[in-house]
Amino acid sequence: MFDAIVNGLSGLGAGVLHLHWSNPVMIAVGCLLLYLGIKKDVEPLLLVPIGFGAIIVNIPLADLMGEEGFLRTIYNMGVANELFPLLIFIGIGAMTDFGPLLENPKIFLLGAAGQFGIFLTIGLALLFGFDKLDAVAIGVIGACDGPTAIYVSSKYAPHLLAAVSVAAYSYMSLVPIIQPPIMRLLTTEKERQINMSELVSTSPASKTTKILFPIVVTIFGGFIAPQGLPLLATIMLGNLMKESGVVGRLTKATENEIANVVTLFLAISIGATMDGRAFLTTQTIMILIFGFVAICLDTVCGVLFGKLMCKATGGRINPLIGAAGISAYPMAARVVQKEGLKYNRFNFLLMHAVGANTGGQVGSVMAAAIMLSVLKGMGIIP
Amino acid sequence: MDNVTFGLTLLVVGMGGTLAALGLLAVMMNLLKKIFPAKEEPSN
């Protein structure tokens, strides 16, 4: 009888006895993510389920990511096969208005420049000894686009998924803190005061153009970068549904119900990959550093390209909007608007910045698609 | 393929390809706007 009680009590304490030092640390990290999401309103839709996932996966013996674990089931259902990020992309496409970009299509180029950080960071990661595909997954944090980072890392470097996705979403939410000092450092006060509304004449796009835009991007992008077609096609399908106006029910479902359910599953799965034994490594710290570098380089390249366009157009482009060429939508556009107003209180750059920002969304997907097709061409991926 | 060659190739082709692709898209969008101008559809 006494032995049975002792055995029973030892069963109750087994979880504590199997605790690894990294588990309490990661539980604290999970709590920090919950705090940021709940109290500080930082990406709560993502950080709350990620934080909770990180807590429960670090409770020993629960085996939630084991073969039969419910988190493993969710992970296999949509992260391991890259389905969840693609479903989210349909919702993003349905929520995005490319109108400001189509009003002034040349700012598409800023969306390209805003992705240069991806490729520069890949080079840096390679210099620091990362494997080729690991470097690619790290560089794509610079896309400043969560689903793209998750798609690429889950496909080609699944062991880095947790660190890459945490870095991608954390830095996206930190864009308002990271970008302004770089923008001020690289521009003169005179450049920051350029009032584009007075200098740039734009014309609105017709409904036909708006409907043709996603079709043209999909066909064109698919031909030059077929490896990235799932990324391009899903975001453009969402946008086509929105602009066509004939499938309101589907559009509503993709931007609400589907996006919400998939966000929950995706985020809790990411949290579930944050097992302390695998996550608390020097490699994770390096990935977080490289992710930060990638976003800084994106901003630098975007602003410098903005300066180039400013010169080329005789001072009609405010170089600040180059910072919105990254994909963090709409945070980057808001940062540009705020910075512009600081130097000229009548300078409303928002619509131009939103154009560059949506260009950055297309740019990030296009850059990832091109990168995957180049990797395929070099025989690095099957 | 060594890491330096790989990194440089990806840098040149990736950055150049992205810039060229979005530049071409910008040209195509300008063409579409000329073919289907907004004034055709005053309701928009």
CB contact under 8 A, A209 and B3: no
A207-224 and A229-244 helices, crossing angle to 10°: 170
Q: Residues of B26-38 as b/e, b for ≥16 C-beta within 10 angstroms?
A: bebbbebbeebeb
Q: Is the pLDDT assigned to residue A162 strictly greater than 90?
A: no
* Set of chain A residues whose Cβ sits within 8 Å of the Cβ of B2: none
d(CA A286, CA A295): 14
CB contact under 8 A, B3 and A126: yes
Return the residue of A nearest to B5 by Cα.
A123
CB neighbourhood size of A42 (10 A): 17
pLDDT of residue B43: 53
- For residues A198-225, average pLDDT: 90
CB contact under 8 A, B28 and A216: yes
CA Rg, chain B, in Å? Answer: 18
- For residues A149-160, average pLDDT: 91
d(CA A296, CA A310): 21
d(CA A273, CA A279): 8
CB contact under 8 A, B25 and A220: yes
Return the residue of B nearest to A105 by Cα.
B26
Instruction: With cut-offs at 50, 70 and 90, classify the pLDDT of residue A18.
Output: confident
The model's pLDDT over A33-83, given as tens digits with 9 standing for 90+, comes to 999 889 988 788 888 999 999 999 999 988 899 988 999 999 999 998 889
Q: Are the C-beta atoms of A147 and A169 separated by less than 8 Å?
A: no
pLDDT of residue A353: 93
Q: Which residues of chain B form beta strands (DSSP E)?
A: none
Instruction: Name the stretches of chain B with pLDDT < 50.
Output: none
Q: What is the DSSP string of A163-177?
A: HHHHHHHHHHHTHHH
* Set of chain A residues whose Cβ sits within 8 Å of the Cβ of B1: 378, 380
Return the residue of A nearest to B2 by Cα.
A132
Alpha-carbon distances of A120 from A293, A319, B2, rounded to whole Å: 9, 21, 17
Q: Residues of A265-278 as b/e, b for ≥16 C-beta within 10 angstroms?
A: bbbbbbbbbbbbeb
d(CA A48, CA A30): 9
d(CA A26, CA A28): 5
Q: Is the pLDDT assigned to residue A4 strictly greater than 70?
A: yes
B residues 6-25 closer than 8 Å to A (CB): 6-11, 13-15, 17-19, 21-25
d(CA A78, CA A195): 46
**Half-sphere CA count of A223, side-chain side, radius 13 A:** 6
Return the residue of B nearest to A375 by Cα.
B10
The model's pLDDT over A245-272, given as tens digits with 9 standing for 90+, comes to 999 999 999 999 999 999 999 999 989 9
What's the distance, CA A53 to chain centroid? Answer: 19
d(CA A227, CA A371): 9
B41 touches chain A (CB under 8 A): yes
Query: What's the mean per-residue pLDDT of chain A?
Result: 91
Instruction: With cut-offs at 50, 70 and 90, classify the pLDDT of residue A184.
Output: very high
* Set of chain B residues whose Cβ sits within 8 Å of the Cβ of A105: 25-27, 29-30, 33
Q: Which residues of chain A form beta strands (DSSP E)?
A: none
Q: Is the pLDDT assigned to residue A10 strictly greater than 90?
A: no
Whole-prediction pTM value?
0.89
A367 touches chain B (CB under 8 A): yes
pLDDT of residue A16: 81
What's the distance, CA B29 to chain centroid? Answer: 10
Q: In this prediction, what percent of chain A has a pLDDT beyond 70?
A: 100
Say which of A108, A221, A374 has its CB closest to residue B10: A374
pLDDT of residue A180: 95
- For residues A81-105, average pLDDT: 93
- For residues A78-91, average pLDDT: 92
A residues 107-166 closer than 8 Å to B (CB): 108-109, 111-113, 115-116, 118-120, 122-123, 126-127, 132, 135-136
Contacts of A330 (CB under 8 A, 6+ apart): A354, A357
Q: Is the pLDDT assigned to residue A25 strictly greater than 90?
A: yes
Alpha-carbon distances of A218 from A71, A196, A239, rounded to whole Å: 34, 30, 11
pLDDT of residue B42: 54
* Set of chain A residues whose Cβ sits within 8 Å of the Cβ of B44: 204, 206-207
pLDDT of residue A112: 94
